[in-house]
Chains A and B, each alone.
Chain A
Amino acid sequence: MDATDKYYSLFNAENEGYCVFEVLLDEEGNPGDLLYLKASPAYERITGFGAVVGKRITAVCPDIKPELIAMYAKVALSGSPARVENYIPAANGWFLSYVMPMQGLQIASILNNITEHKIKAEKQQYLLKLSDALRTIADPVTILETACRLLGEHTGADRVLYGDVTDERSIAICQHFENNVQPVSGVFDVKDFGEEMIGIFKKNGKVIVEDIHNGPACIAKHHAQYTAMGIAAVAYMGLIKDGRWVALFGMNHSSPRKWSQLEISLMEETAERTWAAVERARAQEDLRKSEALLGSVFKILPVGLGCIDTKGRFLLVNEVMQRFIPTGLMPSIDDEREDRWIAYRPDGSIVPREEYPGIRALRGEPVMPHMEMIFVQDDGSRIWTRVASLPLKNEKGEIMGAVVVITDINELKALLQQRDEFIGIAGHELKTPVTSMKAYAEIVQEQLEEIGNTTESALVGRINTQIDKLTTLINHLLDTTRISEGKLQLNISTFDINELLAERIEEMRYTTDHRFEFIPATIPFVRADRERISQVITNLLSNAVKYSPKKSVISLSSESMQDEVQVTVKDRGTGIPSAAQHNVFERFYRVTDAHPGMGLGLYISAQIIKRHGGRIAVQSDVAAGAVFSFTLPSEK
């Protein structure tokens, strides 16, 4: 083994090949070719050239550039080693060579295959550029155009295309990059690609063809179509997302072309990133559309609409809302505008600021459907509003803010007031003729009784009963208007409600054959308006009589609870369906049409009890009868 062989053996590693060239000079003494003198097995393996010794490099690599030969020759002539990185098409790879001078025109070259490293670096550089370009684009079509153009420019492919698989039957080729070839934009039937190709795409596979004339059967079958389109080489891939074939991405070339490993890998990466960018852009576009829609709704709504953060600052308000919230702070935390809002409880007391809808929503309590509030305008005039609020929670259930809606109901209030005024006037007007009627009817009845005409006196007695019913109805109508105007006056005194109950039962006994059962408890006096409570008891008793069978038992009881006294009236009647129970206390509500007149009575009773700060409730099982109860504050 001579010295040079020993030297070579140092480099006889698996992944590093070495070879020895002799520079061949042409007639003019210029370097024209390189002759292989020696080559290690690794050299032959990593280049894929096979046996090279004794061959000229131009024969082994027909594409070799003359500059490279010149560079090798320079090492031999100058005696200075060199390092060179270059792509060798014949080996389909990137190589790093260390070229060292030996004796005479001989040079040694140690060769490393750096294709993988090179691909990685180049890919990274390309992908960085791609990502930078796509990141700022909002329009999906522009994203596709840009991605296709960048891949086309980078690989030199004549055409790059992205097809949106919309419904598994058709592909919309949205945008493509073309380099002097025919455009192919449009909607295509997936069948045009052939069954086999579609099968491959659906399995996330690729179709890589150097020359369609020598390609696999799936593409060779269609060679005429490809040729007609000016396509000689293709590289296609299907993109699968969530198990569904969503897109086709690919490169075409007008002449046969060997697609490099790098190009295929770039196509894959570009396809993935393009799809992600398009999805992001579409999602953002959808978001923008829904925001625009929401914005229009926000703007067009005739109500004040706003969103507040957890500190009660308005983040978003529409124009109507600006009228109510000019400072951008919810009224309950806005000291300057504290006196601009007033709300009353049913008992007439003022609602404190901590109970305003905004602050309640931030505590997690929605104010639905609304709280009626008076808004004092800049000129000092007062308008009625309805304020509703809803807490906004994140997915963990934490409160992130609230939505507040303010409606100007001043016109509605004015109309309601007009209605109440009308009922008030009409009601009072009706009372005058009823007064005369009652006076005459009573006199007639008295006179008939005096002469012993019992049949006719009983008839007139019925007229009197009806006049009394008419009077009750008129009074109910007037009471409702008083309630809605907030003018229901209470004359508070302390009295024994047991005594009042007994009195009312006695009164009722004469008008019906129902049996009454009263279990009074030892209870404190109540603080209430005796007349109004008498009205409530009468109403509950007459309802019990109306809605339960003749001779059935109506039970009353009283009991003491903490600071209150509770009265209960139970009948054995038809009861109230549970669905109807919550609105029996509403104005003009009636359970059945069989018994007219119930609507106003319970509404008024409920309002009277609420004005006292008490509660009224109903419990009922259909067929078991109804149990009405109310509470009143007791004397301290």
Chain B
Amino acid sequence: MQKIIVLDDNEDILEAVSLVLKRKPLEVVALRDPGELMNNIPSHEPALLLMDIFLGKDDGRRICRSLKDNPSFDQLSVVLFSAQTYTPESVEASGADAILDKPFSVKTLYKIIDQLAISPGMVK
């Protein structure tokens, strides 16, 4: 089963998003601490990373950039999501594959995952 890592520092969002994703044939790894990300990517080999932009001290865009710059992880699809204001340029510069504004529709989330996940039609 394909894996998705969800990284958000808010417990409620993490819980809700995990529930939404688990309705599809996906294995969800929910992380609250950005520090845990680097260990979990190699161990889980996820197909997609859904990550909040504003993570306390960390910034999802910066993390995304470093992943995209790392040849070991550059195949990983990254979707950023945020409740905060951001400039489109900063998202473009991060190399993220998609951006989702909170709150978002479940259908939109499925559609994005569908488009970016490795096997098309996997999530429906």
Residues of A with Cβ closer than 8 Å to B?
Answer: 424, 428, 431-440, 442-443, 446, 467, 471, 478, 482, 487, 489, 491
Q: Which residues of B contact A432 (CB under 8 A)?
A: 10, 12-13, 83, 102
Considering the chains assembled together, what is the distance between the CA atoms of A255 and B19 in angstroms? 124
A433 to chain B minimum Cβ distance, whole angstroms, is 7
Q: What are the interface flags for B2-13 relative to A under an 8 Å C-beta threshold, 1 for contact and 0 otherwise?
A: 000000001011
Chain B residues 1 to 48 lying within 8 A of chain A, measured CB to CB, are: 10, 12-13, 15-17, 19-20, 23
Q: Which residues of A contact B105 (CB under 8 A)?
A: 438, 442
- A431 close to B20 (CB less than 8 A): no
B83: contacting residue among A435, A439, A467, CB under 8 A: A435
Considering the chains assembled together, what is the distance between the CA atoms of A544 and B86 in angstroms? 31
- B23 close to A443 (CB less than 8 A): yes
B85: contacting residue among A443, A467, A482, CB under 8 A: A482
A129 to chain B minimum Cβ distance, whole angstroms, is 85
Q: Which residues of B contact A434 (CB under 8 A)?
A: 102-103
* 3 nearest CB pairs, A to B: A431-B83, A435-B103, A436-B16
Chain A-chain B contacts (Cβ-Cβ < 8 Å), number: 56
B116 to chain A minimum Cβ distance, whole angstroms, is 19
- B13 close to A435 (CB less than 8 A): yes
- B103 close to A438 (CB less than 8 A): yes
Q: Which residues of A contact B73 (CB under 8 A)?
A: none
Residue on A with the closest CB to B14? A436
B84 at the interface (CB under 8 A from A): yes
A482 to chain B minimum Cβ distance, whole angstroms, is 7
- B106 close to A446 (CB less than 8 A): yes
A428: contacting residue among B17, B84, B88, CB under 8 A: B84
B88: contacting residue among A436, A482, A487, A491, CB under 8 A: A491
Please, could you name 8 A-B residue pairs with CB atoms under 8 Å apart, sorted by A?
A424-B85, A431-B102, A435-B104, A436-B13, A436-B15, A439-B20, A442-B105, A442-B107
B87 at the interface (CB under 8 A from A): yes
A471 to chain B minimum Cβ distance, whole angstroms, is 5
Q: Which residues of A contact B15 (CB under 8 A)?
A: 436
Q: Counting chain B CB atoms within 10 Å of each CB, which of A428, A438, A439, A467 scores highest?
A: A439
Considering the chains assembled together, what is the distance between the CA atoms of A437 and B15 in angstroms? 11
Given contacts A431-B103, A467-B103, A489-B88, contact A443 B19 (CB under 8 A): yes
Q: Which residues of B contact A491 (CB under 8 A)?
A: 88
Considering the chains assembled together, what is the distance between the CA atoms of A322 and B15 in angstroms? 62
Given contacts A431-B103, A467-B103, contact A478 B19 (CB under 8 A): no
Q: Which residues of A contact B23 (CB under 8 A)?
A: 443, 446
Tally chain B residues at the interface, Cβ within 8 Å.
20
Q: Which residues of B contact A439 (CB under 8 A)?
A: 16-17, 19-20, 103, 106
Residue on A with the closest CB to B15? A436
Q: Counting chain A CB atoms within 10 Å of each CB, which of B16, B84, B88 scores highest?
A: B16
User: Beyond the given A432-B12, A435-B83, could you list 10 further A-B residue pairs with CB under 8 A, ordered by the A residue number?
Assistant: A431-B103, A436-B15, A437-B103, A438-B104, A438-B106, A442-B105, A446-B23, A471-B103, A478-B85, A487-B85
Q: What are the interface flags for B98-122 relative to A under an 8 Å C-beta threshold, 1 for contact and 0 otherwise?
A: 0000111111000000000000000
A518 to chain B minimum Cβ distance, whole angstroms, is 27
- B106 close to A442 (CB less than 8 A): yes
B106 to chain A minimum Cβ distance, whole angstroms, is 4
Q: Which residues of B contact A442 (CB under 8 A)?
A: 20, 105-107
A290 to chain B minimum Cβ distance, whole angstroms, is 55
Residue on A with the closest CB to B106? A442
B53 to chain A minimum Cβ distance, whole angstroms, is 11
Considering the chains assembled together, what is the distance between the CA atoms of A478 and B105 in angstroms? 20
A435: contacting residue among B19, B88, B102, CB under 8 A: B102
Residue on A with the closest CB to B109? A439
B1 to chain A minimum Cβ distance, whole angstroms, is 20
Considering the chains assembled together, what is the distance between the CA atoms of A439 and B17 in angstroms? 7
Residue on B with the closest CB to A442? B106
- A489 close to B87 (CB less than 8 A): yes
- A436 close to B12 (CB less than 8 A): yes
B12: contacting residue among A433, A482, A487, CB under 8 A: A433
A444 to chain B minimum Cβ distance, whole angstroms, is 11
B92 to chain A minimum Cβ distance, whole angstroms, is 10
Q: Which residues of B contact A424 (CB under 8 A)?
A: 85
Q: Counting chain B CB atoms within 10 Å of each CB, which of A424, A440, A467 scores highest?
A: A440
A443: contacting residue among B12, B20, B87, CB under 8 A: B20
Q: Which residues of A contact B85 (CB under 8 A)?
A: 424, 428, 478, 482, 487
Considering the chains assembled together, what is the distance between the CA atoms of A446 and B105 in angstroms? 12
Considering the chains assembled together, what is the distance between the CA atoms of A487 and B105 in angstroms? 26
Considering the chains assembled together, what is the distance between the CA atoms of A449 and B94 in angstroms? 39
B95 to chain A minimum Cβ distance, whole angstroms, is 18
Residue on B with the closest CB to A481? B85
B108 to chain A minimum Cβ distance, whole angstroms, is 10
Considering the chains assembled together, what is the distance between the CA atoms of A489 and B85 in angstroms? 10
Q: Which residues of A contact B16 (CB under 8 A)?
A: 435-436, 439-440
Considering the chains assembled together, what is the distance between the CA atoms of A428 and B19 in angstroms? 23
Considering the chains assembled together, what is the distance between the CA atoms of A433 and B16 in angstroms? 10
Q: Which residues of B contact A446 (CB under 8 A)?
A: 23, 106
Q: Which residues of B contact A482 (CB under 8 A)?
A: 85
Considering the chains assembled together, what is the distance between the CA atoms of A437 and B17 in angstroms? 11
Residue on A with the closest CB to B10? A432
Q: Which residues of A contact B12 (CB under 8 A)?
A: 432-433, 436
Residue on A with the closest CB to B17? A439
Residue on B with the closest CB to A482? B85
Considering the chains assembled together, what is the distance between the CA atoms of A431 and B13 in angstroms? 10
B24 to chain A minimum Cβ distance, whole angstroms, is 11
Q: Counting chain B CB atoms within 10 Å of each CB, which of A428, A436, A442 scores highest?
A: A436
Considering the chains assembled together, what is the distance between the CA atoms of A477 and B17 in angstroms? 25
Considering the chains assembled together, what is the distance between the CA atoms of A442 and B107 in angstroms? 9
Q: Which residues of B contact A471 (CB under 8 A)?
A: 103
Considering the chains assembled together, what is the distance between the CA atoms of A440 and B23 in angstroms? 12
Residue on B with the closest CB to A441? B106
Considering the chains assembled together, what is the distance between the CA atoms of A433 and B87 in angstroms? 23
